[in-house]
Amino acid sequence: MDKINLIFPYSPFFLLLCVLVGVAYAWLLYSKQYNWSKKVNYTLAVLRGTFVTLICLLLLAPIVRKIKNDEEKPTIVFAIDNSESLKMSADTAFLKKKMQEINNIKDKLEKNDILTDVQFLEDNSASNSTKNNLLNTKYNLQSSNLGKILSDVESNYENRNLDRIVLVSDGIHNQGVSPTFQSYNNPIITVGLGDTIAKKDLKIQTLFCNKLAYLGNDFPIVAEIQNNGYDDRIVAVSLLQNGSAISTQNIRIKKDDISEVNFVAKAAQKGLQRYSVSVQVLENEISTQNNVRDAYVEVIDGKEKILLLAYAPHPDLKALRAIIEKNENYSFELCVVGIHTPKEARYDLVIAHQIPDLQNGGTDILSKYKKLGVPVFYILGEQSNLGAFSAQNDVITTSARTGQSDNVLGAFNPNFTKFSYNVEALSILSKLPPLSVPYGDYQTKNNSDIVLFQQVGSVITKKPLLAINSNKTSKSAVLAGEGLWRWRLEEYDLTDKQEVLDDFFLKIIQFLSSKEDTRKLRVFTTENEYLSYEKVVFESESYNDVFEKIYNTKVNLSIVNEAGQSFPYNFVIAQGSSRFEVSGLPKGVYRYKASANILGKLEVAAGEFTIKDLQLEALNTTADHQLLRQLSDQTQGKFFHINQLESLEKELLSKRKPNKLTSTEEMLEIIHLRWLFFLIVLLASIEWVARKYLGSY
């Protein structure tokens, strides 16, 4: 019930004064004799007195205080597990029967002034008709995230009159945080579906393999086969590539045990390859979906080639080798001038250790690769030809003197944002021994970024110790000192690991060796891997000759599956709408090609992605009612078996939460009440029209 009060900033006696002003005004005007009846005269006087009184009342500026009371009925939310595991372990007719009984409970709750709502594991997939009639529930979700549905319910009903949550589930949880590890503000009643007795099943529990392999190399694929309920026997396990069997093994499985099968596959084709391990289907298996599991391996043709070109043997060379060989994508080659000769015509990166040198022994080799546009990472030392170095590098200039050196620490530049580093981890730099840096002045060239400053003692100078530059022709970097090997040894002495510095320099090397993307059309998927129920999302960009983004570009997209079947699409790159989504593709490896006419020239972009079948629901079909009991105990709820729905109904009706009363207060100056304005205008208009009609002014 709403309550309305008037609050006066002045004494309430002023109300009497307003009335007196209105009466006095009406008496002065209508005390004279007019040519109309007394009844009409009194009526006009009342009209005049009323709206004058109201106008005077407005001058007092009273405030209207309105208190609105809302009553909210309690709500019970039914959280329904609509995952595939329920369909696998229970009869469809049985599920429909029990859902009809839950529908009846909902109807009885509504008749007793208790609101109800239904939410599913994936609530967006459920229409209103499904929520109103649970018989239409589709058990097709490929994972069970019970913790998420419960937290979503509490989030949706925050600050509302939520009574209880009724979770109808088999208790199988295979994604996200376990519901028993979360806290809840409302009691959770659980209803146990499914069979807690393990059924006979032979399944591939896990599948291990490298995600990356190199063309022509062999790599292992390991499968763990779990046997539930079958006696010891021999079964066949096969390895398939893109659907064709390439190897088969017969193994002995033991009852209620896990067996391991090892395969060796050869990376014979470039690109993403789908490998499957399939185990023989036995009689009376509860599920055959888990007898096959897929693994996706990207086969690449060769590694990025990195040349370490050195003037002479040095402990830094071994340190650099150890860092680079941590990344299996890099092929490392060491070339000491006068001892070795570079094997490749071109490299992805050259690390020049003290080259250009004083004897100019390696200068010609370095110049050869620089002309080809190969990025160079310079490392200075006592044998560096600093004059030649300053002339040919794009990063820093130095007036250092040959033969003189300074001991310098490294201080990280907090304003460096080219790529991210763990600044806290890099605090170890202050504890490392100094590098030997040629003594002199150092300055960065245009567009160079300082990564490390030179620190002498406790003073951090503005001189660069490590800097990088990425111009239009090639990238380059300079480390202005030698002694990296001491840094790695000291880090190991301090931490028993060699991670911080290795990661630090690997990022520099990765930045230098990575290729610049100069394509005018770029179409790529947001992920390399998608699950079978997810949409494949393409991002697209188009550029003009100066690499400014342009829009309204029409793109033709062709997606090809493993069987060679093509799926054509087309879309337009528009400002604020650069995404294109494709759904409904089955599992497998897909390659795509996008083309567009940009400024009169055909531009093409290509790539590949995989769609995986999650199979989480097939891995375990044995109901976990213990989890449901634990969840109810933690939240002061109760557990009911699906055959105890009558008891559930009594529980929900017998402990009804009271209605929630909410009061809201609104303060409003009376002058803002529109109806009052129109009332005054109406009263004045009626009086004026009547006087005119009666022949007076």
Structure confidence by residue, pLDDT tens digits, 377-426 = 999 998 899 889 988 888 999 887 767 888 999 999 998 888 778 888 88
State yes or no: pLDDT of 129 exceeds 60: no
Q: 500-513 and 484-495 are packed helices; what angle lies between their axes, rounded to 10 degrees?
A: 140
The pLDDT-based confidence of 614 (bands split at 50, 70, 90) is low
- Which tokens hold the place of 519? 């394509």
- Is the Cβ–Cβ distance between 140 and 85 less than 8 Å? no
What is the per-residue pLDDT for 547? Answer: 75
179: nearest Cα among 221, 223, 144, 216: 144
- Alpha carbon distance, N-terminus to C-terminus of the chain: 47
Q: CA-CA distance, 68 to 664, in Å (whole number)? A: 5
AA identity, residue 469: N
Going 459 to 464 to 468 to 469, the CA torsion angle's sign is: positive
Going 579 to 584 to 589 to 591, the CA torsion angle's sign is: negative
What is the per-residue pLDDT for 290? Answer: 84
373: nearest Cα among 304, 476, 276: 476
CB-count exposure of residue 353 (10 Å: 0-12, 13-18, 19+): buried
The pLDDT-based confidence of 592 (bands split at 50, 70, 90) is very high
Q: Tokens 């009466």: give the residue.
A: 23
State yes or no: pLDDT of 472 exceeds 70: no
- CA 73 vs. chain centroid, Å, equals 37
Q: CA-CA distance, 207 to 295, in Å (whole number)? A: 7
What is the per-residue pLDDT for 209? Answer: 87
- Which tokens hold the place of 512? 């230098």
Give 131-138 contacts, CB < 8 A, sequence gap 24+.
133/103, 134/78, 134/80, 134/99, 134/100, 134/102, 134/103, 135/96, 135/99, 135/100, 135/103, 137/80, 137/82, 137/95, 137/99, 138/82
What domains can be seen in the chain, in order of their start residue? 3-69+666-693 (no CATH), 74-195+628-654 (3.40.50.410), 201-300 (2.60.40.10), 304-513 (3.40.50), 521-612 (2.60.40.1930)
**Three-state SS at 633:** helix
What is the per-residue pLDDT for 130? Answer: 54
Q: CA-CA distance, 466 to 427, in Å (whole number)? A: 16
State if pTM tops 0.75: no
CA R_g for the chain? 40
List, in sequence order, the alpha helices (H) in 570-673.
Answer: 616-619, 625-634, 645-654
For 17, phi and psi rounded to 5 degrees? -65, -40
The pLDDT-based confidence of 690 (bands split at 50, 70, 90) is confident
The pLDDT-based confidence of 531 (bands split at 50, 70, 90) is confident
Percentage of residues in the chain having pLDDT higher than 90:
39
Q: Compute the 3-state secondary structure of the chain and give helix, strand, coil in percent, each to the nearest 5.
A: 30, 35, 35
